[in-house]
Amino acid sequence: MSALLDIAQAQREGRTIVAVDISEMRVSADPAQVLVTYSLGSCVGVTVFDPEAGVGGLIHCMLPLSRIDPRKAAARPAMFVDTGLPALLQAVYDLGANQRRLLVKAAGGGSPLGPDEIFKIGQRNLEVLGKVLWKNGLELRAQSVGGAQARTLALDLQTGRTIVRTDGKESEL
């Protein structure tokens, strides 16, 4: 395993790996935590981190718009980009993050079924992500999006590093 995201090493160091499942989000100010989400295909994963406050979060959104199922969106806002991302932002602000210092990075938004996939969920997730960020005065600092490969996304709350693993290769966003 690469030195960028060596989960076993992090655990040996007493760090806590916190898995973020599909349609979930996690926020923390605990530098001992590493937030990780797996299998980002058409789903979009977003990390936010305030380096001064040491506060960050990770969300794994499955669908772009909550209007397709408002009841489900009320119960699980992280399922949708348009409800989940504002909830993530509010949660990190509540922990002391500041909008001006927030580093936003994303992965996923692909087309795992190929470029002819009819619903274009990944592309639509990215479009809504851009709109929500714009409405909140934020921009993506880095991204690993599109294509057909699945991704793993991790946020190390000790260092603020965002790592993406694609096809067995890792890189820092």
Q: Which domains does the chain have, with CATH numbers?
A: 7-172 (3.30.1330.200)
Alpha-carbon distance of 42 to 125, in angstroms, equals 8
Q: Tell me the per-residue pLDDT of 47-95, one tens digit each, with 9 for 90 and over.
A: 999 999 999 999 999 999 999 999 999 999 999 999 999 999 999 999 9
Q: Could you tell me the pTM of the whole model?
A: 0.92
Separation of alpha carbons 130 and 120, rounded Å: 16
Catalytic residue positions, numbered: 43
Please report which helix (H) or strand (E) contains residue 129, including its range.
helix 121-135
> Per residue in 41-60, pLDDT tens?
999 999 999 999 999 999 99
The residues that bridge with 37 in the sheet, in sequence order, are: 153
